[in-house]
Structure 1
Amino acid sequence: MTRSKLYHSLPKSVALTSTSLAVATLAASGLMLSTPQQAAAQELCSTHTVISGDRLSTIADTAGVAGGFQALFDANTNVLESPNILEVGQVLTIPCEDGSLPTGVVRVATGTADAAPAPAPTTAQPGRSLRIATATGYAPFTDEDAPGGGLITRMVSRSMEVGNPDQEFDMLFINDWGSHLETLLPSGAIDMVFPWFKPDCDRVENLSPASAYRCTDFNHSAPLYEALVGYYTLAGGEYQNAASYSDLFGATLCRPEAWFTFDLEAQRLMPPNVELRTTVPQNGCWELLQNGEVDIVTLDALPAEEDYRELGLEGQITKLEALTSGVTMHVFVSKNNAFANEALPIINAGLQELRLSGEWFNIVREGIRDTVEN
């Protein structure tokens, strides 16, 4: 089996172009179904059949799922197409206290037992080592100090190993996030980078040039992970009952510096519909919210909820549950790098196998657990 190598290159940088520092608590919300009814009791290490009125956040809270809404969503990616939409009759798996799936819940490939396996994807240069880069400081996803380099680093390494064990690859930590898409991929110095968020490339005409180039200049792997983006306001404030993106028109939003804005563009949460602050450090957004200088803070729900708890703001912040959205992380390759594009099917084949076998969920669970314990 090919083993990846971890390299350290370039000094650490705090300029995270499309990611943010994130640790520990996973939480967000689900979209309320119409015609609410009395929700059935939910328990850890069991299954739950969705009824009218259910939403992921209340199921997770009632059952006491460690990691909340995001952990429950992660356990049911084979059932749920969206983190915000539940359908009556769906059977959800509720993780056990230690984060594992209940006994007997196994994700396996369908098909006959004697069916011949599909041949492993290959490249025209099998002897050439694929250069794959990430950066540190984005726990639990990518971090030099985390086991295996973080859960997404482990996921990409395992996808390569499972997708084609004969393909050599080197895993590098290049801790200047901005250089990944701006220099390293276009120059061919690196073949692949991760984890980068991808806009809706089917609507590239709606994107700003700063967002559209993620579609026009790069190809992408299948989704590695879906992170949740939350919207937060002061409890009792003017926008605490906002239920649609248009309800925020006229508000002042704070999206921390170096973060993407393509999701805001898609929902028309851009000037002149809103005033947008994007040059503020992550914790600075919360200070502006407290001071009444902005109405809404919006970013990755994972670090957001950890941040406001650490700042002692729990109870003062209202999460706008109906506005929670999902954005997916991918491996990016330059459209001009033929070798890297040939290797993308290896990542995709391995990733599919990880999901079918349940290893994908185990990597996510262990990565989150290791971050919380450390």
Structure 2
Amino acid sequence: MSARGTVLALLAAWAAVPALAEGPCGATYRVQAGDTLESVAARHFGAGADWAPLYYANLAALPPTDGAAEIAAGTELYIPCPPGAAPASPKVLEPGEADITLVVADGHGPLADRTWPGGGMGTALLVSALAVAPDPLSHRMRWAEAGAGALDGAGDIRFPVIAPDCSAEGAREICDAWHFSDPVFELPMMLFAATGGALAQVGAEEIDGRRICRPEGAPVDDLDRAGRRWISEGRITLLRAPSAEACLEMVVEGAADAAGLDLYLGAARIAAMGLQGRVAPLEPPLSRETLRAAVPRGNWRGTTLIWRLNAGLERLRASGQRDDIVAQHMRRLAERLR
């Protein structure tokens, strides 16, 4: 689907937020004769169509299947929790019990956010890739504070990261310090402007003199790179705000002409803030950035970790599981938008 088609599909869709779990979550369920993923999901999540998170939480216990296929009686399934539900008996690995620590920067919903199912689509893809990787390692999840960069703090694998252009001036230090994974997901970067405002009338390419807000800590490479020196040549005024919400508020108040956000983050925040019809993305996208995971080069097994992760990502793609995960999360995002 084109970027324009994606935008229109996301903004046009609307449904109620999925119901919270009706049965205990964060616990183990023993499959009974005749059970399917859909029936178990209906019992615990309130909707049989929400079986995908259940499947990806139990990859090691299940063969490739669909939601309607019967599961072998006696199989033990871990029941993940939807947002807002308290686990009955959470399984938390302590630092000494896990092989590696996965650090995820919070607040990037729907891609990486502890309040989204599976920790967000990007997190679900990464965790699923680790689960099917050769010689998989156990891991504990550590959420970095919302707004923090994924390259901040200790951990074996950091996510999400937009890898810099290693040929660009100033990027060598970062590239020398980190291994970057194969692509996990592609992000269309958009300008979100007031509907009916001046910038909405002329489009994203009429940029001279505009005030563009970007959340603190978010990279600005797409605003100042070869062929687009908007910042260094003084073509725009770069504004910083504490969060994506703050940038969107500045747009509504007229303090900024646009907020520079990725398509999915911007769409989710617009829905959460009730700004549908007041703020919208402009075509064409500023750029398409590739979301990756990163491993410190100083990690004694960094090369092996990246190899395993990349192999897991390839297995997800080859099996079709990646498309299933993306479709499930896109459906959930569309339900929150209008």
Indicate whether the TM-score tops 0.5: yes
Counterpart AA for 1:162: V
TM-score by length of 2: 0.63
Aligned to 1:182: 152
Aligned to 1:303: 265
Q: CA RMSD in A?
A: 3.5
TM-score by length of 1: 0.57
Q: 1:232 aligns with which of 188, 192, 210?
A: 192
User: Using a 3 Å threshold, how does the CA distance of structure 1 residues 136 and 275 change in structure 2: closer, same or farther?
Assistant: closer
- Secondary structure of the structure 1 residue equivalent to 2:229: coil
Provide the C-alpha distance between the structure 1 equivalents of 2:149 and 2:282, rounded to a whole number of angstroms: 34
User: Using a 3 Å threshold, how does the CA distance of structure 1 residues 314 and 173 change in structure 2: closer, same or farther?
Assistant: same
**Per-residue displacement from partner, 1:82-120 (whole Å, max 9, x unpaired)?**
xxxxxxxxxxxxxxxx799xxxxxxxxxxxxxxxxxxxx
- Moved runs in structure 1, 4+ residues, more than 6 A? 64-67, 371-374
Confirm or deny that 1:264 pairs with 2:230: no
Deviation of residue 364 (structure 1)? 1.9
Provide the C-alpha distance between the structure 1 equivalents of 2:116 and 2:242, rounded to a whole number of angstroms: 28
Aligned to 2:142: 173
Contact 2:150 2:161 in 1 (8 A): no
Deviation of residue 193 (structure 1)? 1.1
Deviation of residue 135 (structure 1)? 4.3
- Secondary structure of the structure 2 residue equivalent to 1:139: coil
Confirm or deny that 1:327 pairs with 2:289: yes
- Secondary structure of the structure 2 residue equivalent to 1:232: strand
Deviation of residue 319 (structure 1)? 2.8
Deviation of residue 309 (structure 1)? 4.1
User: Using a 3 Å threshold, how does the CA distance of structure 1 residues 370 and 283 change in structure 2: closer, same or farther?
Assistant: closer
Contact 2:102 2:141 in 1 (8 A): yes
Unaligned runs of 5+ in 2: 16-48, 52-97
Q: 1:278 aligns with which of 214, 231, 240?
A: 240
Pairwise mapping of residues 1-374 of structure 1 onto structure 2 (< 5 A)? 29-30=3-4, 60=9, 129-144=99-114, 146-164=116-134, 166-176=135-145, 178=148, 180-184=150-154, 190-202=155-167, 204-205=168-169, 209=170, 213-243=173-203, 245=205, 247-266=206-225, 267-271=228-232, 272-369=234-331
Deviation of residue 274 (structure 1)? 0.9
Deviation of residue 235 (structure 1)? 3.2
Unaligned runs of 5+ in 1: 1-26, 31-54, 68-97, 101-127, 185-189
Counterpart AA for 2:269: D
How many residues in Structure 1 have an aligned counterpart in Structure 2? 253
Deviation of residue 159 (structure 1)? 1.7
Q: Which has the higher contact order (CA 8 A, sep 6+)?
A: 1
